[in-house]
């Protein structure tokens, strides 16, 4: 005899497409919140108390909320990054965390390359000349940009997205590719001649440094005043990782003082970026409102993956992509042992 089917409950936090919502409703009762506001916060928390699954983007879940969600088995984030979630506490409680790698790789690499082009060729600054009626004579040296073609591109963190940026640089722009990674990437080296460097060497050699590392304790302010000082004065810094990988005040000082030439930023320590941040108005900065994966196609694919993850995980078929499956198995083992040792319900 199969297991009796469970009455499952899912909390969805993020505007979801109707078909995605319907798919979730096919396996569970869904409490749907398009966004979290002061007005619906209590309703959200009481739904979470009863939920087996939580799905959404930029999920506002902290350790305290987790402790008040005793039934929670699966968190399915509509993002590849999960630095906004309390992973250690989820591991301890055996809550499975699913994310959305792969489907956003190429789009995020496109965003990085858009920033590279914009920063090297001063696209925003010069487009504004036209827009504001200041294009009154032929462009002279003071408005010239810097080549992309043939330059050295340093990728800090050659994971999936880093490798996709590297391919664009090598194959599309004949760039020399340097990368940092915890282990060598022989495939990347063979395919496009990429060379592994330690961070210090890469910062000193690259014309364009592109940050694609996950945010964690070891990458907090990885690029500080000292690191910026190692870059060449004509170099540009591109960040599509997380804002706190860079010490923003040190970056502002470096851009102001000519330590580096320019920056292209999709991510910031505080998002949305404060209106009075110098990064919003500096001529040598291109600042984007965190659009790494923000295309119709990719955001739909991410939501679809998150829904598939949730349904797979809660129905026992298994998720497509999970972050902490091993920790959850260990947590389940600990629970089983405890039950054995103390005369749990199974005895
Ligand atoms: C967005 C991202 O922040 O996936 C990530 O980790 O940084 C971006 O794609 C995210 O999808 C917003 O919900």
Report the nearest-CA residue for atom 2 of ligand 1.
Answer: 79
CATH class of the structural domain 9-102+296-336: alpha beta
Q: Using pLDDT thresholds of 50, 70 and 90, give the confidence band for residue 347.
A: very low
In this predicted structure, the answer to whether residue 340 has a pLDDT above a threshold of 90 is no
d(CA 245, CA 278) in angstroms, rounded, equals 18
Q: What is the pLDDT of residue 336?
A: 56
The residue-averaged pLDDT of 156-165 equals 97
**If you average pLDDT over residues 180-191, what whole number do you get?**
97
pLDDT value, residue 110: 98
**What pLDDT sits at residue 123?**
98
DSSP state of 215: P
Contact status, residue 76 vs residue 313, Cβ threshold 8 Å = yes
Global pTM value = 0.93
Alpha helices, DSSP H only, in the chain?
18-25, 41-50, 63-67, 87-93, 105-121, 123-131, 160-167, 173, 186-192, 199-205, 225-230, 248-256, 296-315, 325-341
Torsion of CA 124, 277, 298, 13, to 10 degrees: -150
What ranges do the domains of the chain cover? Answer: 9-102+296-336, 105-287
Among 52, 176, 290, 305, the active-site one is 290
Residues within a 6 A CB radius of ligand 1: 57-58, 78-81, 104, 290, 292-293
**Topology of domain 105-287, per CATH?**
Rossmann fold (3.40.50)
**pLDDT for residue 333:** 85
Residue 158 token pair: 């050659």
Residue 3 has pLDDT above 80, yes or no: no
CA 294 to ligand 1 centroid distance, Å? 8
pLDDT in the model for residue 58 = 82
As a whole number of angstroms, the distance between CA 100 and CA 302 comes to: 6
Q: Indicate the top mutation candidate among 104, 162, 212 to test ligand 1's pocket, ranked by most ligand atoms within 8 A of CB.
A: 104
Average pLDDT of the segment spanning 106-121: 98
């Amino acid at each position: 005899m199969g297991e009796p089917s469970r009455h499952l409950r899912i909390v969805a936090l993020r505007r979801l497409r109707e078909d995605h919502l319907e798919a979730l409703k096919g396996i569970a009762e869904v409490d749907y919140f398009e966004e979290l506001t002061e007005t619906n916060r209590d309703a959200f928390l009481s739904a979470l108390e009863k939920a087996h699954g939580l799905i959404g983007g930029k999920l506002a879940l902290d350790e305290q909320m987790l402790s008040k969600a005793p039934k929670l088995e699966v968190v399915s984030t509509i993002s590849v990054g999960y630095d906004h979630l309390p992973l250690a506490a989820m591991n301890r409680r055996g809550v499975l965390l699913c994310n959305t790698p792969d489907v956003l790789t190429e789009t995020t690499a496109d965003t990085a390359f858009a920033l590279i082009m914009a920063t090297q060729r001063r696209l925003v600054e010069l487009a504004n000349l036209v827009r504001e009626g200041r294009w009154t004579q032929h462009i002279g040296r003071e408005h010239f940009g810097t080549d992309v073609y043939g330059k050295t591109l340093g990728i800090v963190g050659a994971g999936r997205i880093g490798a996709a940026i590297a391919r664009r640089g090598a194959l599309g722009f004949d760039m020399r590719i340097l990368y940092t990674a915890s282990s060598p990437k022989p495939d990347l080296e063979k395919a496009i001649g990429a060379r592994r460097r330690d961070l210090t060497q890469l910062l000193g050699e690259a014309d364009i440094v592109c940050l694609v590392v996950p945010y964690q304790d070891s990458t907090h302010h990885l690029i500080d005043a000292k690191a910026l000082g190692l870059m060449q004065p004509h170099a540009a810094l591109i960040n599509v990782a997380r804002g706190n990988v860079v010490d923003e005040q040190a970056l502002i000082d470096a851009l102001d003082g000519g330590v580096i030439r320019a920056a292209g930023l999709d991510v910031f320590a505080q998002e949305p970026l404060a209106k009075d941040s110098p990064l919003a108005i500096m001529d040598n900065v291109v600042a984007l409102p965190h659009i790494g994966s923000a295309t119709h196609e990719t955001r739909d694919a991410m939501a679809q993956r998150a829904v598939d993850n949730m349904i797979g995980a809660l129905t026992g078929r298994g998720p497509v992509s999970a972050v902490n499956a091993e920790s959850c198995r260990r947590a389940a083992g600990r629970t089983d042992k405890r039950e054995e040792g103390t005369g749990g319900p199974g005895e």
